[in-house]
Amino acid sequence: MSTGEADTIELESSSHIQVASGLDTGDDGHLSPTTHSNSVYETRYQKSLRHYLTREALPKESHYRNLNSIVDGSVRPTLDDLHNNTFRSEQQRHAGVDPDAGAKNLRGKVIKFGWLEGVYMRCLLNIWGVMLFLRVSWMVGQAGLIYSLVIVVLANVVTTFTTLSMSAVATNGRIQAGGVYYMISRSLGPEFGGSIGLMFTVANSIASATYIIGFCDSLQDLLKYYFNGALIVDGGTNDTRIVGTITLIAVLGLAIVGMDWVTRVQMGLLFLLIGSQIDFVVGAFIGPLDDDEKARGFVGLSSEVLSLNIQSDFRRDDNKDQSFFSVFGVFFPAVTGIVAGANLSGDLKDPADAIPKGTLAAILTTFITYMIYPVMIAAGTMRDALGDKTLFVENMDNTTNIWENPTFSDEYCYKGGEGGTGNISICEFGTENSNQVMELMAAWGPLVYAGCFAATLSSAIASLVGAPRVLQALAKDKLYPGIYGFSKGSGANNDPVRGYILVFVISLACIMIGDLNVVSTLLSNFFLAAYSLINFSCFHASLIKSPGWRPGFKYYNLWVSLVGGIMCLAVMFLVDWITAFITFLVIIALYLFVSYRNPDVNWGSSTQAQTYVSALKTTLDLNTVEEHVKNFRPQLLVLSGAPGSRPPLLDFAHSITKNISLLACGHVIQGPQTQRVRNTLTRQAYSWLHRHKIRAFYSVIEGNNLEDGARNLFQLVGLGKLRPNTVLLGYKANWRKCDRQELKAYFNTLHEALDMYFGVAILRAPQGLDYSQIIEDEDTPVVMNGNDNSIAQVTEEKPGQSGANQLTQEVAKLLGTLNSNTRSTYYRDGTDSEASSPPGSPQAQRAAAVSDETDTADNHRRTSLANLYRGPGGVELSKDVLNNITMFKRKQKKGTVDVWWLYDDGGLTLLVPYILNTRSQWAGCKLRVFALANRKDELAMEQRSMANLLSKFRIDYSDVIVIPDVAKKAAESSRMEFDQLIEDFKAKSNEEINKGNEGILISEAELLGQREKTNRHIRLRELLLENSRDASLVVMTLPMPRKSSVSAPLYMAWLETLTRDMPPFVLIRGNQTSVLTFYS
């Protein structure tokens, strides 16, 4: 065979695999095959291709399981393995754990069911419920045959639409235990899923009691009609309690024994149920066996009787006037058993195949019977019958046709149903009055009673078995506190024995009540709410067109699902609008509770996808919105480093942007770093922001120094018009002692921001902003030295989780390097002290030494400011340190915010303090505005002009102060202090300044050229000390760092002069574009 052709590997007679023959085939050009009966394959392919040619892995199912399943002992290589030519140890390659692996090690026989016994049979048992025997005949009597068939069709349309939606959801990936709860929670998220899951558990627990009570009522009827009214105790509630308790204990014992026995018993009940229906059909065709049956309304199949029952005859029943919709509401619960099989999804061999096939087959089967039985009842039974055999026989000779007998008319029988008139008795028989019509028409009545028993017991078993499994799945997800203990199962099938006991207790309490007619409608509404959400799940997933929405079941449509969901809601209100309203309140309450708890889950729900779609659409729409000065808002890019290292800086920024504008955190690190490191830093940053309730974005970028990294951030952060317009930095307090190139990079960062038309703000706090070496963040581990260069110990991230549980070695290495060499990080503000600054290094995530439960508990425990920050080892910080860290998070004492609006920068210097003044933390502080006057004799005019401008801007202020003598020569002592600041940076001669140190030394020419500006800043310091020493916050226009005119040390000396030994100080410079306007 020539190169490029293909070998055909015959696996079966009907399947072939083409294998390219691009390998060396030896001398004769052919590989030597090994042949077995009907299988031919090449022996050379018995070993993995990976061992011969490549480290690539061939596609296989195990690569796509949760985490890194090691079902077959292999995992897909990472991108680092392939691209960077790294190699991980076997221990690390198999670090993932198959979530199903634990189940495989359990002892005992694992029972899994196919679609026939797992879904079809259980749905039949629930849809052929007690309503079939007790309410179908009543529906025919009230609504007539035509409306009855319409009701059956409409009810089945709703369930069919719901089943189509459920089938689509069930086939969109692997379905685990939890049934309806699992499908809704994974489709719509934990809020909806948690609401329905808890409601479904409670509803099934109560429903189990109602079915058992229905069984007791049928048993009492049997004793009444066939055993001369025999009693157990009183023939009422006490009998129900005794028989119900015994029955419930038997059902509980059956459930604990195991699903195998549950299936056997239900199979027997199904045969009994089918036998009772055959008995009814046979009896209908045989006709009445004696005059007693005729007197009670069964006259035999007849077209004339059928014609009498075609039209409706709605009457008053159960203390209310019946109508089409009320009858529909009574019948609809009969067809709501469509999720009986889905609730046992964890016990099915292939849920994705069994649920659609079994449920649709059950609906079709029961639909046929529900269409046939009303016709037979309408054709064979009168609406009203007195039931008096003697009178019936006496009047037979006076009528031509049996249905014309007067005992079926008003002459002998009052049809009102609630009271007779005169000597006329109330009709006790007929489709309008008796619930035992099917028993009357059957060939042998007791068999119908047995069928009724089978229907009630099978439904009770299904509810008692299904509810604990839903509760178990709900408990595993930890959506509600205090229920995690119910997640533990026993045996090979992980049976929820604890859940069985809980449901038993709830059901027993309900049985002791003895009458649950009040809550029966509410239960139906709970089920309908679940069905509505199933439809909405399918509709929503289809609507947003997420690439992950790929159901194996193709016979669905998003609009059909929407109609199905709306129909379920409509039926809820048709059944009873009061209970429908109560259902909505319960769902909303549970939704809000789960949403408030904000469970740490990531299920890839359609609501998550909707968030992306909505955000994308809104961001794109924003591009078409014209900018206007009235809508300007400061959108901040904060050069924060790792967010946890500078809490005051982020708190201050958040007080500006909270709920009104964009906040982005920029972090520059030394590169190159692996993507795993960047992912870990990002994950940790968002975790910190979430814990501290700061809504912000985070961007980490690599750079040779702060200037390069910041330039990249300025260019890349943001999307469309949703991008920063102002840069906020921490003041570099250690500028005199840090590396000169580091100082130059900091200074050039300001130039880069201004070159790109950003506003610039610099914040200085008295005690500094960098607390990275004082506080231990929850995600910060004890840092390694970083000497181990091996990559073999790196633990893979776990996909689908919001936070990693293990620290990667690369991050530890990066941290160790940064801690041992302070020059390797490029954003250190040095505000912890005047000495060498601690590095603003990336903080890695805490190693997984604490369980998930502990992490969750810690997140909820840290609710106060004192618990948000801890020292190394978890020690409590001193009050002074804690106050310094949280200075901008706490409410400020009454004081002033002094705004030194020295130069017109477009108004940003005034807008920022105004925004701060609207925040609760700063509400007690009043604005004082300081301005400069051109000449001393224009002082009053300048003051009036500024006050008038502020009034037009609608900015409240307490005082306007105009400074007339800013150009006055500063005091000699102040000048000497300034000279000491720059003493180490003065160039001894012009020759000393070369290309290598340009911009980091101060020449005599520069000092001479900037003499007036220097004096102005020294004079401003004197005025600041005089007027703003006790202010809560000082905001001043940032001096413009003119290119090629001022060096980094001279400029930093100006800033040092202005801000040293002052209250919290913010220097702001807008981009010379108006951000304020007094036009409407």
Reported as a single tens digit per residue, the pLDDT across 1034-1062 is 999 999 999 888 999 999 999 999 999 99
pLDDT given at position 449: 86
pLDDT given at position 61: 64
Residue 859 reports pLDDT greater than 80: no
Residue 863 reports pLDDT greater than 50: no
Q: Which residue has the tokens 């459930």?
A: 255
pLDDT given at position 292: 87
pLDDT given at position 319: 75
Q: What is the pLDDT of residues 406-458, one digit of tens each?
A: 778 777 776 654 444 445 567 788 888 888 898 889 998 889 888 888 888 88
Q: Looking at 441-455, 513-527, 754-768, 875-889, which range is the least confident one?
A: 513-527
Laid out side by side, the sheet with 726-730 consists of: 697-702, 663-669, 636-639, 726-730, 759-764, 1065-1069, 1033-1037, 895-900, 925-932, 959-963
pLDDT given at position 513: 78
**What does the mean pLDDT of the chain come to?**
79
Sign of CA dihedral 978, 979, 985, 989: positive
Q: What is the pLDDT of residues 457-508, one digit of tens each?
A: 888 888 888 888 888 888 888 888 888 888 888 877 778 888 889 989 988 8
Confidence at 700, pLDDT banded by 50, 70, 90 = very high
Q: Looking at 68-72, 649-653, 736-740, which range is the least confident one?
A: 68-72
> Whole-angstrom Cα distance, residue 831 to residue 838?
9
> Whole-angstrom Cα distance, residue 351 to residue 348?
5
Confidence at 862, pLDDT banded by 50, 70, 90 = very low
* Radius of gyration of the CA atoms of the chain, in A: 40
Residue 654 reports pLDDT greater than 50: yes
Backbone angles phi, psi at 292, to 5 degrees: -65, -45
> Whole-angstrom Cα distance, residue 191 to residue 197?
10
pLDDT given at position 563: 93
Q: What is the pLDDT of residues 565-616, one digit of tens each?
A: 999 898 888 878 888 898 889 889 888 888 888 787 778 777 888 888 888 8
Three-state SS for 91? helix
Kind plus residue range of the DSSP H or E element containing 664? strand 663-669
pLDDT given at position 844: 33
Burial grade of 1044 (CB within 10 A; 0-12, 13-18, 19 or more):
exposed
pLDDT given at position 139: 92
What percentage of the chain has pLDDT greater than the value 90? Answer: 25
State the number of CA atoms in the 13 A half-sphere of 473 facing the CB.
29
Burial grade of 607 (CB within 10 A; 0-12, 13-18, 19 or more):
middle
pLDDT given at position 25: 44
What percentage of the chain has pLDDT greater than the value 70? Answer: 79
pLDDT given at position 763: 95
Residue 57 reports pLDDT greater than 80: no
Tokens at 1043, concatenated: 């290119």
Residue 236 reports pLDDT greater than 80: no
pLDDT given at position 809: 40
Three-state SS for 637? strand
818 or 560, higher pLDDT: 560
Q: Looking at 284-298, 383-397, 769-783, 800-814, which range is the least confident one?
A: 800-814
The arithmetic mean of pLDDT across residues 142-171, rounded, is 92
Residue 997 reports pLDDT greater than 90: no
Residue 69 reports pLDDT greater than 80: no
> Whole-angstrom Cα distance, residue 873 to residue 603?
34
The arithmetic mean of pLDDT across residues 219-245, rounded, is 79
Residue 765 reports pLDDT greater than 70: yes
> Whole-angstrom Cα distance, residue 698 to residue 705?
19
The arithmetic mean of pLDDT across residues 977-1003, rounded, is 80
Residue 792 reports pLDDT greater than 90: no
Question: Is the separation of the CB atoms in 366 and 335 below 8 Å?
Answer: yes
pLDDT given at position 813: 43
> Whole-angstrom Cα distance, residue 858 to residue 940?
60
The arithmetic mean of pLDDT across residues 74-80, rounded, is 68
Q: Which residue has the tokens 């990472």?
A: 78
Residue 516 reports pLDDT greater than 70: no
276 or 67, higher pLDDT: 276
> Whole-angstrom Cα distance, residue 491 to residue 494?
5
Q: What is the pLDDT of residues 924-940, one digit of tens each?
A: 899 999 998 876 667 78
Q: Looking at 20-24, 518-522, 932-936, 975-979, which range is the least confident one?
A: 20-24
Global confidence as pTM: 0.71
Residue 1078 reports pLDDT greater than 50: yes
Residue 960 reports pLDDT greater than 80: yes
Residue 21 reports pLDDT greater than 60: no
